[in-house]
Structure formats: structure tokens, C-alpha cells
Amino acid sequence: MAKLAENIQQESELVATFSEIVEVKNQDLLQENANVDGQSPMGQMGKFASESSKYYAKEFLLHPKVRQAIEENYLHPHDLDFYTTGTTTCCQIPLGKLLKDGFNTGHGHMREPANITSAMALASIVFQANQNMQHGGQSYPMFDFDLAPYVRKTFEKHLQKIRSYPTTWTDEEITKQAWKETEKDVYQACEAFIHNCNSMHSRGGGQVPFVSINYGTDTSKEGRLLVKNLLLATQAGLGNGETPIFPIQIFKMKQGINFSENDPNYDLYQLALQTTAKRLFPNFSFIDSTFNAQYYDGTPESEVSYMGCRTRVMSNVHGEENSISRGNLSFTSINLVKIALTSNTVDMFMNQLNHYIDIGIHQLLDRFDFQIKKQAKNFSFLYSQHVWKDSETLKEEDTLEEVLKHGTLSLGFIGLAEALVALTGKHHGENEESYELGLEIIRMMRKRMDDATKKHHLNFTLIATPAEGLSGKFTKRDQAEFGKIPGVTNRDYYTNSFHVPVYYPIKAVDKINKEGPFHALCNAGHISYIECDGDVSKNTQALDQIVKAMATANMGYGSINHPVDRCKACGHVGIIDNACPECKNEDENLIERIRRITGYLVGDMTKWNSAKYREEQERVKHQ
């Protein structure tokens, strides 16, 4: 009888959720992900499917102790709605291999492109095709290296064409003109690629592909030309001057390549600073940080690559350690705040945390066992097109254990700052003892993941959770149980992972130095943000200092936030307070405010859930 009553209650809650979707009133429900238009027909259909799938997963796929931890607000398996499909989270796609060998998205083979225009078009198609195979993000780890050969092909075609003309030009003049024509093609190809990334549909039309590209270290003429024009096309924006929100662009920093004034790609780094000052991308990753440098052997394949909000995949107990053709399989987050609120001492907190780590590991293993029972034919593009590592060994009926073993299983965390306030009265940004305790907590979590890797011979890793919808979900439920406790549950959100709270006034360099050590501990992914005030396009030197400070602090991945607004009435791009300085427009509906939500950009803040919207409002600037 008790089980029957529970089922009736759960079905009643599901029907109530369906009603909220139909009525299109619950912003937090419809916009858990700001990259999805939850109010569109396809967005609503996706939400119906999502809520139904979550219900099935909870009822039939989760162990009772996992279900209990979720119901008690200690644990959150991400993308639980996709659990039933057996998909994986994300992948670093081997673009160069796909372009060279050709690929098939379902009907007909795409042969190797003969120029950069076709290559960039196919790069868009690969992103779109792969997006429908996985529930997370897609990324190209070596964008400049992979596309450089097609810049060369374009140049050679122009060279051959010009040489066929009757002309008195010297070979030097012919070559110069061929490169000029090539550059024009490269710019147009980059422009089209960016437009495609912001307009293509995936997942039934409810979402543009969530995509990232890594670049900046190819010193060849072709690679440099590509990056230069990609940055210029990003600066130019979309058709009406809008800031592109995809792809997430990540400029890889490396000493001897682009870090110092005498480095061959230093000029591209300066252009990257100018571009991020205007368009918020690129972000910056650091190959020389200790935990990334250990994998670097001088080849492009060994360079660290990030994707999406922060995901990083490098170590591998099953073979070659790099990002290529690998990704995260799934990840689950722990509510550190709830554990702190139910602990009377630090020792009790650590014991409870260990308990929920055990449950988290159990859940990740269960999900892995479910994923590997799927067959290669269930994910035709990922495996038949050899996107995933070792997938060329699979036949259609084969199960997936031999390829998915290369992926990562990640445990994450949210609300370190609030947990520390609950335990000590201060967060790690304002008190040194709290800071040391924070490091101790995350060190312990990382050790548990390393131990799980050895025990299960799978790639367990620790991620600094990119909390979007979760930042408010955990908080609301804890508020209902504990009330609004100052510094702990009195806001609408919990602080993202290990970050110093967004509302706490702190100098940029101090924030960087405090957050830096956590990057090394969170080997599944990490990011730190610095909030700048004013028009930073007039002071790229300050941005350079921030990026260099991140490198010095041994960070792996960082970004710089600042206001980027656009008046829809006249097209003015810049900082808009109450009225457009150009046309004096004061209608807030006609002002587009681009902001970073967890690691990616959102072009319309009306798509943010209430918790992240409140967090953005409370972000202080770092001097």
C-alpha cells in the first residue's frame, strides 16, 4: 500500500509538471538550460519527454539508496532525462580525421573537401550530427591544425588559377595575390561557420548545437591565417551586429608559442584579447599549468582541450592520455551545503561527505553499466564514423565497453562557499582557516576519485560543477527545510563549485590566487571568471594582465566577463545603462544584454532561470 501511495503521488506530481509546461508559466522549469528555447513547440515537446524520462529513470534505473539521496537533496545526477537513452555527455571530435576520410551523417558519403569553404561547412555539419548523439557539448580540440590543410588547398587552387592567366607578374607577386585571394575565402568561410553555429538546429529544433573550438598554437602560415580571420569574423558579429554565442572559443596559451612578445603567435594572442574585449570570447586555457603540462609532448594532440562550460578529459587508465576522440560519460553533483547543514562538526561533515561520495560512485558505475550495454548501431554517427576512440573496431551489434572505457565518470560539487559558512561562519574568500578547510575538502574528494580509478580501473574524475538549473534547485529545497540562513541559504542560488561568492568584493588578483589551487584538484573540469567594469576594449592591457595572472596562479581555464550590450533599435554595440547612447532608446525590450551564464554566453537573459538571473544581478566587479 505504501508503494502504491508513493506511485500515485509521483504520477500526480508528473501531471502537475505537465500542466506547467502546457501553461508556459514556470520559467525555472522551462529554462533549466538557457540554450534551449523552452517556450517553443519543440522546446515544450522536449520538456515533456525530459520529465517523463526522468520519472522512468528514477523508478526503474536508479538504486533505492541513490533515489533516496536525490529525494533528500544530497545528490543530483546530471542529464537524468537522457539516462534512459544511454548517451554520453560530450566528445572532443577528431575533425581532421573526419574531413580527410570523409563521413556519413545518415544518407550519402561526404568526401574530403577541396577547399576551406567546404571544410568549414562540413565542420558545421559534423557538429550538428554529433549533437544528436550526445546529451552534452561537442568540441574540436585542434581547430587550427585540423583546418590548416584546407587553407593550403585553397591557396594552391588560387595559385594555379592565377598562373594560368596571361600576366607579367613575378612569382613573388603571383604568390602574394594567391594568398590575398585565399585570405578572402578564409574570412568568408569563418563568417559562415560562425553564422551556422548560431542558426543550425539540433535535438528536434529546440536547441542550437552546444559547441566549442580550441585553437591558437598552430604557427604555420595556414593555421595563423585561419585563427586571424576567425577572430576578425567574431569581432564583426552576426548579420545585425549581434555577438555570437557559439561556438565557445578557447584560445590555448603556451610559452614559446603565443605567451610573450617574441613568440610567433603573440600577435594572434593580442587579437584574441581585442576580440574577447568586444565579444566575450575567446576564453583562455593554459597548456603550461602543471596538471596540463604533464601530458604535453610537443605534439598538437597532447595539448589540453576544454569544452562547454569547463569539461576537461586527459588522463586515461586504458591507453593514450589526451583529449582526442574522448569525452565525459556522465557526471553527478553533491550538495555540499546540505551536508554541512546536517553536520555538527567538521569530522561529521567529512564522514557524511564520504558516505555520499560512495553513493555517487555507485550511481556512476550503474549508469556506466547501462551505457555499455547499448550497441554501436544505436549511435551511428559516434561509432560508425569513428568519432569515439577505438570505435573503428566495432561492428553494428557490438556493445560499447571497449570504447566507453576511454571516457570519464565524474563526480562534482556545488556550494563550497556556503558549506564553509555553515561549518565555520566564514567562506574561503574572507577567512584563511576556512580557505584551508575548503582545500582539504576538495583534496579529499579528488583522492576518493583517484582511489575509485584504481579500484574499478575506470577514469573517475572530479569536476567543478557548472551549476545552472541546479544552483537554484538545491537551494530552494534546502530553504524549505532549514529556512533562510544568512550566508548559507538566504540567496536564490548556491555559489558555483569552488568559486569565491560572486557578491563578495575582492580584487581580481586575489580571486585568481585563491581559486587557482582548486583547478589542479578538479581534473574533470574547472573555470574561473573575473568580472570587469567599463569598456574593456579600451584597455586590453588590463585583460592581458588578468590572463597572465591566471597562468601564474596555475589555472587551467579562465574567462573574463564584462558588459556587452546591443541596441536593437539602431545596432549600437557597447555598454548601455538606462538608454542607448546612440539613439537614446530606453525600451529594455530593445536592448540585448549578452552575459556569461556558467561558461557559455546567452544572447537573451529572458531565457535565464530565476536563480542564475539573480546571481548575475549580484556579481560584483573585480578591480
Q: pLDDT tens, 215-229? A: 999 999 999 999 999
Same domain flag for 79 and 32: no
The answer to whether residue 534 is domain-embedded is no
Q: What are phi and psi for residue 328, nearest 5 degrees? A: -85, 140
The answer to whether residue 543 is domain-embedded is no
Same domain flag for 147 and 268: yes
Measured CA distances, 97 to 94, 176, 214, 243, 404 (Å): 6, 30, 16, 31, 19
Angle in degrees, CA 33, 35, 36, rounded to 5:
75
With a cut of 80, say whether residue 42 has pLDDT above it: no
The answer to whether residue 248 is domain-embedded is yes
The answer to whether residue 425 is domain-embedded is yes
Same domain flag for 444 and 388: yes
DSSP-derived 3-state class of residue 513: helix
d(CA 254, CA 285): 9
State the pLDDT confidence band at 623, using cuts at 50, 70 and 90.
confident
Same domain flag for 389 and 371: yes
Same domain flag for 175 and 284: yes
The answer to whether residue 621 is domain-embedded is no
Same domain flag for 75 and 147: no
More confident residue, 206 or 483: 483
The answer to whether residue 522 is domain-embedded is no
For 55-113, how does the pLDDT look when each residue is reduced to its tens digit (9 = 90+)? Answer: 899 999 999 999 999 999 999 999 999 999 999 999 999 999 999 999 999 878 999 99
d(CA 135, CA 91): 10
The answer to whether residue 514 is domain-embedded is no
Closest by CA position to 223, among listed 115, 332, 148 = 148
For 584-595, how does the pLDDT look when each residue is reduced to its tens digit (9 = 90+)? Answer: 998 988 988 888
Q: What is the DSSP letter of 304?
A: -
d(CA 154, CA 112): 13
Instruction: Decide if 158 contacts 182 (C-beta within 8 A).
Output: yes
Predicted pLDDT of residue 37: 63
Same domain flag for 362 and 430: yes
d(CA 607, CA 31): 6
Same domain flag for 175 and 47: no
Predicted pLDDT of residue 606: 65
For 140-160, how does the pLDDT look when each residue is reduced to its tens digit (9 = 90+)? Answer: 999 999 999 999 999 999 999
Q: Of 481, 504, 527, which residue constitutes the final position of a domain?
A: 504
- How many domains does one find in the chain? 4
With a cut of 90, say whether residue 343 has pLDDT above it: yes
Same domain flag for 377 and 278: no
Same domain flag for 280 and 347: no
Same domain flag for 149 and 179: yes
The answer to whether residue 527 is domain-embedded is no
- Mode of pairing for the β-strands spanning 138-140 and 211-215: parallel
Show the domain range for 299: 91-307
Predicted pLDDT of residue 202: 75
Q: Of 466, 484, 504, which residue constitutes the final position of a domain?
A: 504
For 244-280, how does the pLDDT look when each residue is reduced to its tens digit (9 = 90+)? Answer: 999 999 999 999 999 999 999 999 999 999 999 999 9
Find the CATH number of the domain harbouring 112: 3.20.70.20
Same domain flag for 469 and 345: yes
